[in-house]
Structure 1
Amino acid sequence: MEVWMSPEGWIPFEKAFLTEATGYKLRYEGTEIDLRIQGIPIPFHREGELLFTSLVTPFQSGSVQIYLNGQEYQTFIYPDSRKLSEQQFDVMIEEILEESNSCFQISGLEREVSVSGKSRGASWTQWIYIERSIHRLRQIFARIEKQPFSGLVKLPIVQKRERIQRVAHTTLHWLDKRGYAENIPQNVETPNTFETVDVYENQVLKKQLFDLKILLRTYMNVERVEVSKKAATFHSLIRRWINSPFLREVSMHQGTYSITQKFRKHPIYRQWYIWFEQLYKHDREGIGFDYPIAMKDTFELFEMWCFMRIVRILRELNQVEETRGLYKTTESGIFIDLAQNKESKIRLRDGKSLYFQRNYQYNSKEFYTYTQRMIPDIVLESGNEIIIFDPKYRVTGNLGTALGEMHKYRDGIVHRETGERAVREVYILTPTSDDSVEAMRYFEEGYHDRYKMGAVQMVPGVESERLKEKLISILM
């Protein structure tokens, strides 16, 4: 079996350097083939004497099991160099929620908002934490279950007197009360030493699992089906742990608990304690999302983050008048309403508006399209003109093609009254590295001024000075 790699051409599959979220062509010389990747069969089609297929690697890195005609192999899918780190993922979540809390002050909504840094209530970021790290908790529990802390305890037992190997003071004391000489009972009570797992650390562990099980019931009752289903799965898993033979011998700790030296120094129990410490550090000022974003959906989070960064810049420039469109209110609380196709709107000064996922089609009122429906990610409407910002999470080496697609916005969105093309400027927002920015003309100011389009660097954790300058020039 061979794979096509540019520019090498066809090379043996086992020598290929596979990257996540990438398409590959495979060919096999033989009469028939049974190829399975992670247990999923891959169909081939015949062209002459060879069999061909196309394969798209998942948007995840790690080792992969390959089954080829009954033989088992293992290969590795490497991370995409354009992919943001998990730390940057967390930065985007934090900055989105931080800006949403700032905008809430001018939103005009009237509702009480609880403020706390550490809470046992449910929140969007807490669910993201549970969903992303439950597999790590599963690994930690498996290692603890295999070799848990234990201690020695002395308990009285009653056994035949001839089986007593060593006489303790408590045994003699018992005999003094029960009889002596010829009246010594046949069965004698004596202390015996047993090993038990019912120690403080395991009692705390059981209590934490019990609290987590109760917390998961909250997520089982949310409106989003995918969240409630996963929460039910996690709930069954935790309940199974609590009923395991290991924890059945352990009593549950009552009241507050503290971190002991064993929790502090033991490599496995320490990870367990840290996991539960982080579990309750996700409460914000009562505002979050009511839907989850997985790591594989980083592009969706990147779009929201870019939008909220633009909101922040406009707010600091004193351009924001009303932010009610950012939120929706439910019985559960207040949530940022930036889901796709929701067309969230912020009203700016001088009649301008900022939209997330603005919808243009043939029957739209002020602006319309004469071809197909178009939904740019971020739109700034100012009078008869439109400025579009389009976050592109993974186009570092393909910026020219991505900018070429932006012509559909420039040519296809028209002002209904004047009949003129409405889009004045179009910019791609991308987390491109500094080296690429310096080497590509699309980021240059002269290119922007001449063609009214281009690219702007947006990296989580880095201040966006170029975007701020761009927004100031647009507003002026």
Structure 2
Amino acid sequence: MAIPASGANSWLTINGKSVSFDPRSENEELTLVEELRHAIRSTTSAPAELEVAIVDGESPLDNPNYNLWYWKPDKFAGLYELKVTAPGVPEQIARVRIYPRKVSYDEYRKMLADIAAISYDLLFRVGSPSSEKAVAQKAEGQSSALRQYELLRKIVVEMEGVMAQIRRNPYKVLGRKDGEKLLQHVGSFSGEVQPRRGEYVKLPQQAAVKCRKEQLPRIWNVPNWELTCDVYENQLLKSFLSYHLVPLFNAIHESAEKELVRLTNEYNIFKRREWKTDELELQIRKLKEILPECEGFKQRCLSWSGEPFLHGVKHNTQAIKATQVLLKNFAYSRFFRLYLQLRAELKIRLDAQQFLTDLSLRKMADIYEMWAIFYITEALIDSLVNSGFQITRNNFFIELEDGRFQVDVTRNFSSIILVKEGLQVEMKYEPKYLRLHNTPGIGIDSGTFLTPDFALEVWRGNEAEAVILFDPKYRIVVQDGIKTYPYDAYGKMADYQQRIRYLPLGSKQVVDIVTSAYILYPGETFRHSSKKPGLGAIPLHPNMSQIDKGNFQTAIKDILTYAGLG
């Protein structure tokens, strides 16, 4: 017999607090934090031989005795599932939220949203010849359902005028439609008039002599030529309305409902902790507003697909082709442009809900370091583009088969290249600087190799002029109550600066090439020299104060100027 979740609620405690097995609960009141050890105990109400495990299978529990387990969640900050089993008892699952340790939960959410927003922005900017920022498309802080709804809403609003124009003068062609006629009603016979199998009619003697046949089929297929709307262009239009727009509005409606549940849960957490809820309240209100609007737009599309001129028009099953009508007819070309726009937008959309879910299952250190890389990348591109550089290459994303983009970076490769007046800036992620062995280039003159997290190389033709290094570190050291940078990481940057060298073409003497080497970390101490920004540490975290933002922008400007890019 199934055990209700309420019955299992008395089985376990974590750090002395009861665990809820309600599927709607995330046990946020337990306030569990990543990288700390938490004690899970079974109570006297629990079944005998109780077993506890983490569903991901990669977070083993230390079980020193039969009713005690120790759990140190260091894989990621986010939502875990705790599985409880016992002989003769149905399996029970508790959802448990783990909070990040070095940043607040609000900052954690902001990092996930920033990664989605910045990657979406970079995706558009590198594909734009003018390197414009994708401000409208990015819709920073907006949910996936809201972004897709806004895209479809604009298309449907424009389709209102398109349908009015097409309705007045739909495209038609002269089409053949075979019909049946009795023998006596066939006006003339030709190769296109074909007999039907079945009953035969005996001909009068005079007609039999003339036809040299004594009998003929009673029913004949006779071609009729008439104007028809059942053509490729109208088939594509009907499919667009009923097979594209209608299912998309259904999907947005479903996605909005799911996001409402998620955001409402987050809102309740924020209220309990007395955090700011303005952004969440705004998104919740907007999502509630679009639910009835989605239904209204869907019904409008269904009504259009049932227009009289589309009755009898088949749905398109052919490959997409740009016919002369779709290119040159004013009304149909407007429709075709909207059709292609929707296909293009959907091909490169970021499904934020799934994207953030996938991303949140990474370790907190990985999320912070990815966020810092994205943040510094966008800041550097902004500064360089404002100085007149143009983006010429981007391999920042790996495209998946379903048209989504896996947000990732290509390692040890010039992922992003910008140029200006003979200068070339190359951004590399995890470059591997090998031992030079008297080979011209950037490398090390001792050891095997070094791999910083991020490098910006400046080249003029075949000659390197500067290298800038950044290393994000999800670590802090508390000294006199101040969160400062880890000293071993700072020493590592000094090692990079000293050991990564450059051997010019035709020379046997290596020269210094690293102009700046900086740590990015979620702390408070800002270490930077405006005149000579060689080594330093920049506090970098979401929701930075205006002072921290100003320090960050100043450091970026100084570092680029020192490398000859100011």
Rg comparison, structure with higher value: 2
Q: Which has the higher contact order (CA 8 A, sep 6+)?
A: 1
TM-score (norm 2): 0.42
Q: Return the TM-score normalized by structure 1.
A: 0.48
